[in-house]
């Protein structure tokens, strides 16, 4: 499945129980473009006692991801198809996330919670930006022009910057109006991606805190657009997802 081009291989533990496997190795091999399926990450969807489902995410390099708004919307849509519920809870490694699915439009809305500003106007690799925690870390840089693809120039260095508590996602953003922005994305352990849900919310949070934006905001990413709205401090991410294929993958560790 993909959400604005942010794509994932999803193993559905409701269809059959997920076996004990070295999932970091499986993720790395499945996510390879030429010798695997090709994806930004591997997602495990499994039953959960205190929520509609549990989501676990491995990045394309096999590392465990804390959260992912795009993957959350994908598994929420699958859960909606199975249960016909329009509102429910998904468990993630960064806590429980309320979600809703509109049956008429197909839009999936996930509540990402309240972001936290960790560092404001922090200089990393000679670039000033805001470090934001929304279940995972994002470094947000505002620029007047994104045509030079700054995420490709500086993304890797920012991801591994020594001054951050752990590796980060890096985003370069441009204001079009108080209600619309463009962003370009460098995701931790994945590199340049077409979309990032938690990144979109983090960029909007930074823009609102600086007085440049007002909710709701249309966020244009290379793979498509989503809507971010702020309600009582919580940030809601809305957009559509697509199922590309389903099938079997032949693999041996």
Active-site residue set: 68, 196
Q: How far apart are CA 39 and CA 21, in angstroms?
A: 19
SS3 28: helix
Instruction: List all residues 6 or more positions away from 50 whose beta carbon is below 8 Å from its beta carbon.
Output: 89, 91, 96
Q: Residue 145, Cβ neighbours under 10 Å: how many?
A: 8
- Helix axis angle for 69-83 and 197-209, nearest 10°, is 120
In whole angstroms, how far apart are CA 217 and each of 31, 142, 178, 225?
Answer: 31, 16, 7, 10
Residue appearing with tokens 């990045």:
59
The secondary element (H helix, E strand) that includes residue 48 is none
């Amino acid at each position: 499945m993909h959400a604005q081009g942010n794509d994932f291989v999803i193993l559905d533990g409701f269809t059959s129980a997920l076996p004990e496997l070295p999932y970091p190795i499986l993720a790395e091999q499945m996510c390879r473009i030429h010798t695997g399926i090709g994806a930004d990450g591997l997602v495990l969807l499994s039953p959960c006692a205190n929520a509609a489902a549990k989501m676990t995410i491995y990045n394309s390099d096999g590392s465990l991801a804390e959260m992912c708004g795009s993957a959350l919307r994908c598994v929420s849509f699958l859960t909606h198809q199975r249960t016909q519920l329009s509102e429910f809870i998904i468990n993630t490694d960064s806590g429980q996330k309320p979600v809703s699915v509109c049956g008429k439009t197909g839009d999936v809305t996930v509540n990402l919670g309240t972001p936290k500003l960790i560092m404001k106007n922090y200089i990393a690799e000679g670039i000033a930006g805001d470090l934001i925690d929304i279940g995972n870390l994002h470094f947000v840089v505002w620029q007047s022009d994104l045509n030079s693809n700054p995420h490709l120039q500086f993304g890797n260095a920012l991801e591994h910057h020594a001054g951050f508590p752990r590796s980060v996602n890096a985003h370069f953003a441009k204001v079009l109006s108080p209600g619309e922005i463009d962003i370009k994305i460098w995701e931790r352990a994945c590199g340049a991606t077409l979309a990032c849900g938690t990144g979109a919310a983090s960029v909007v949070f930074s823009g609102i805190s600086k007085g440049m934006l007002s909710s709701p905001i249309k966020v244009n990413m290379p793979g498509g657009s989503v809507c971010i709205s702020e309600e009582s401090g919580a940030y809601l991410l809305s957009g559509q997802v697509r199922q590309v294929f389903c099938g079997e993958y032949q693999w041996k560790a």
